[in-house]
Amino acid sequence: MSTQVPQQTDETDAETEPDAAEEPSKGDLRREKKAERAAEREREAEAAENAAAGGNTRELKVFRFDPEIEGKQEPRFDEFHVPFEKGMTVLDALIYARDTYDSSLTFRHSCRQAVCGSDAMFVNGQQRLACKTQLSELSEPVRVEPLPHADVRKDLVVDMEHFYDQMDAVEPFFDADELPEDELAEQRQSRQNREKVKMSTRCIWCGACMSSCNIAAGDNQYLGPAALNKAYRFAMDDREGEARKQERLEIIEQEHGVWRCQTQFSCTEVCPKDIPLTEHIQELKREAVKNNLKFW
């Protein structure tokens, strides 16, 4: 015998079923959003009180901008108080502020080991990697802004497309005139030559040097210190043939190449990997001069 409960088909029951839920009115939606904002402010205030009660805190003033949200299209600074711990970096503080106070706070980060270059920012008036910068070394309030001389997409995120275009313009890849007949044969480099180009290979494409360069700020076509450093890395590699080196020198000798550098050393000062960028650019200038000397 079946134990399944038969379905009721009585018309009176069908008539008593509730109608479909009505859509909320615009007034209801406004009141709901207002309540959400009030609750968010209450959570922020409570978190700030808890942080202050914990004793040692650091104050952050963070640049905010969101072109897609009405009411946030005007740039401003938001203040966050984060509990301080020994060894805490600016990136740690930003992550705490985002996770505790405002989940919409936007910034780039990845490896947290000063290798990926994604979290370059303008901290207390200087280009720095947020993951490498200790809070204990900064005066309060710690002012965090996006990289200057770049279009801001949202909060601390800038558009890097132009920077990547400049890097690509110098053809940043190894290209020998001749390859060994054996595919497994090594293209060996002397120890002396490796030492010569070693520092230039440390570039992590963070864009800090480009952001600090006044020439790049005024000349959008200037290759910039990062791209010229990358050109140096390959032009000075003795495994490349003379024909390829000649092509590279022609790229950097253009009007918006090495000759636009005014030797201000700002790029060298802000480089998080301590690359002597200005020295490399000056050496490329010397190579360009030698390349154009003709004796007849």
pLDDT at 211: 97
- pLDDT, tens digit, 9 for 90 and up, residues 240-289: 888 888 888 999 999 999 999 999 999 999 999 999 999 999 999 999 89
Picking from 253, 252, 276, 273, the residue whose alpha carbon sits closest to that of residue 197 is 276
- pLDDT, tens digit, 9 for 90 and up, residues 164-198: 999 999 998 887 777 778 888 888 889 999 999 99
CATH H-level, domain 161-175+191-292: superfamily:
Alpha-helical ferredoxin (1.10.1060.10)
The DSSP code sequence of 35-72 is HHHHHHHHHHHHHHHHHHHTS-EEEEEEEE--TTSTTS
Domain ranges of the chain: 41-158, 161-175+191-292
CATH H-level, domain 41-158: superfamily:
Beta-grasp domain (3.10.20.30)
Average pLDDT (42-71) is 78
pLDDT at 25: 79
pLDDT band at 22 (very low <50, low <70, confident <90, very high): low
Give the chain's mean pLDDT: 87
Q: Report percent pLDDT > 70 for the chain.
A: 87
Judge if the upstream peptide bond of residue 272 is cis by omega within 30 degrees of 0.
no
pTM score of the predicted model: 0.77
Give the Cα separation of 95 and 184 in Å (integer): 46
pLDDT band at 1 (very low <50, low <70, confident <90, very high): very low
Burial of 14: CB neighbours in 10 Å, binned 0-12, 13-18, 19+: exposed
- pLDDT, tens digit, 9 for 90 and up, residues 115-132: 999 999 999 999 999 999
The DSSP code sequence of the chain is ---PPPPP--HHHHHTSPPPPPPPPHHHHHHHHHHHHHHHHHHHHHHHHHHHHTS-EEEEEEEE--TTSTTS-S-EEEEEEEE--TT-BHHHHHHHHHHHT-TT-------SSSSS-TTEEEETTEEEETTT-BGGGSPSSEEEEPPTTS-EEETTEE--HHHHHHHHHT--S---SS--SSTT------HHHHHHHTGGGG-----HHHHH-HHHHH-TT---HHHHHHHHHHHT-TTS-HHHHHHHHHHHTSTTSGGG-----HHHHH-TT---HHHHHHHHHHHHHHHH----
